[in-house]
Every structure is written in C-alpha cells, then in structure tokens.
Amino acid sequence: LEQAKRPSVIWLSFQECTGCTESLTRSHSPSIEGLIFDAISLDYHHTLQAASGYGAEEARAEAMKEHYGKYVLVVDGSIPIGNPGFSTIAGISNLDMLKEAAAGAAAIIAVGTCAAFGGLPKADPNPTGAVSVADIIKDKPIINVSGCPPIPVVITGTIAHILTFGIPELDSLGRPKAFYGQNIHDRCYRRPFYERGLFAETFDDEGAKAGWCLYKLGCKGPVTYNACATLKWNEGTSFPIEAGHGCIGCSEPNFWDFGGLYKAL
C-alpha cells in the first residue's frame, strides 16, 4: 500500500546558534522521531539531514518545486541585511534564500527569538544589520515561536497544530496564544513571595536559599510571555526560575538590550 504523503517542511537556518534545533530534538510530545517519521516530511534541515553540499541543495529545490504553494517553511536565525555576504548557504545569501523559499510557502514559522524578532544578532550595535523574518516577508502568514530557544514542545506543538488545524490564534506579536498568552509572573510558583514583599537580594543570601522572589535580581517574568512556568523544560522538570535564576525575558523582542540581564525593571 502506498503511504499517504506527509506534508513537506523546509527548515532554513540563518544567523543562529543551533540552539533552536537542539531544543527541537528534545521534544517529547510529539517527539522529534514521531514528528519526522509519522507526521511531516522534513525535506531540508542542515543539522538533521543526511545529505550535504550539492545533494542537500538539490533536495531543497526539488521539495520546493514539488510542493510549491503547500509546504511549511520554518526559519531559525536572523537575516543580515547590512551585508548579505555576512551569512550565505551554498553561495546564496540568507536574504535571497528566504525570499525564494517564502514565495512557495503556505505559511512560515519563525522559530526562536532571532527569526521572530532579530534576537541576539540584532543586539546593539547590531553589526550585521540583523532583522526578523517578518521584517522582510510581508505577503505570507508568519507564526512567531519565540524563545532563546523556544520550549521544545512549543516548537513541535505549533508545527503539529498548523498541519492539523491551520494557523493558531496569535497574540499581537504573532505568537500562538496557547503558549504565549500569559506572562511568567502570573504563573510563577514564587509569586506568593512577591506578593508578601519577600525578595532575594543576592544569589546566595538567605532569601535565595529560601526560594523567595527573584525580582530584585533582575527577573523579567512580569513582562515576559511564555509557557515556561507551566510547561517547563526537560519534559516538565524545571525552568530557569526554579533553577534559581530570574527570567531574562528571552521570548520578548530586544530582550538582550532591554533593562540589562541583572537590572530590576
């Protein structure tokens, strides 16, 4: 029996650190194996594909041709427009490859804060002229899955949702409301200490040892929208605040610059 065709997904990596792919591989529900063997045809992905060089680029071209207008394009990393030569793949600038691949995509998922908002490469003084996917592509639905990196199941859950039900409901920054609808502070287990005015003042004082609120140590939970306090990381094991460090707001635009990592708001 001929197997039903799985939807084609093309994943492009631009100015990034591979953290988003590292995160993707740790998804447990759906698992990365379940996703790429049962649900999607991952036709191009630098880190995960067996092919390289000419063969890899040919696979991308073939997938785009065969599934034109129907494939889902996933992008991680920002796009340098200060000088297109700052980042190229197979001699093609990131800018040109994005425009070419976006033209035939049904929808684009910008994975990670770099693709969604420019991220770390865009931090002051932004030496490469880094911009987000949405800064360049204006005629396709773009779903931003921000985070540095995003939570594993938020990446795979968003891909699965788009393939099953279509584009999810998005917030004002283009992120799925199901995962980014609430801020960290409102779901944080340290919130009772915040309400009682009990704050750690240094990372090794008695308040820190007692698990008090990390607001005075620069926690950006009150202005950060993400699912870390509920879904957590590593199959629901923990998240930064539970590990003793305040949220640095990694799912928000310009998080690297706003407020400074260790300055209170």
Residue 194: name its binding partner from ligand F3S, ligand SF4, none (Cβ under 5 to 8 Å by kind): ligand SF4
Query: What's at 14, amino acid-wise?
Result: F
Q: What are phi and psi of 63, to 5 degrees?
A: -60, -40
132 vs 183, beta carbon nearer ligand SF4: 183
Residue 226: name its binding partner from ligand SF4, ligand F3S, none (Cβ under 5 to 8 Å by kind): ligand F3S
61 vs 265, beta carbon nearer ligand SF4: 265
The CB-of-199 to ligand SF4 minimum distance in angstroms stands at 8
The answer to whether the CB of 109 falls within 8 A of the CB of 74 is yes
Of 155, 184, 200, 213, which lies in the binding site for ligand F3S, with binding defined by CB under 6 A? 184
**Positive/negative CA dihedral, 249, 160, 134, 8:** positive
Please give the structure tokens belonging to residue 92.
Answer: 């093609």
Taking CB under 6 A as the rule, which mask of x and - marks residues 228-257 in contact with ligand SF4?
-------------x----xx----------
Taking CB under 6 A as the rule, which mask of x and - marks residues 210-229 in contact with ligand F3S?
--------------x-x-x-
132 vs 146, beta carbon nearer ligand F3S: 146
**DSSP H or E stretch at residue 74:** strand 71-76
CB atoms within 10 A of CB 205: 13
Span 203-232, contacts to ligand SF4 by CB under 6 A:
213-215, 219, 221-222
Q: Total residues at the site for ligand SF4 (CB under 6 A)?
A: 15
CA dist 126 and 98 (Å) reads 20
Q: Which of 163, 183, 181, 184 minimizes the C-alpha distance to 172? A: 181
The DSSP result for 139-185, as a single string, is: SS-EEEE-SSS--HHHHHHHHHHHHHH-SPPB-TTS-BHHHHSSBHH
Residue 149: name its binding partner from ligand SF4, ligand F3S, none (Cβ under 5 to 8 Å by kind): none
Taking CB under 6 A as the rule, which mask of x and - marks residues 228-257 in contact with ligand F3S?
x----------xxx-----xx-xx------
- C-alpha triplet 132, 138, 144: angle, nearest 5°: 45
Please give the structure tokens belonging to residue 243.
Answer: 């590990």
Of 102, 108, 115, 188, which lies in the binding site for ligand SF4, with binding defined by CB under 6 A? 188
The answer to whether the CB of 176 falls within 8 A of the CB of 170 is yes
The CB-of-215 to ligand SF4 minimum distance in angstroms stands at 4
The CB-of-222 to ligand SF4 minimum distance in angstroms stands at 6
Span 125-164, contacts to ligand F3S by CB under 6 A:
147
Which residues make up the interface to ligand SF4 (CB under 6 A)? 184-185, 188, 190-191, 194, 213-215, 219, 221-222, 241, 246-247
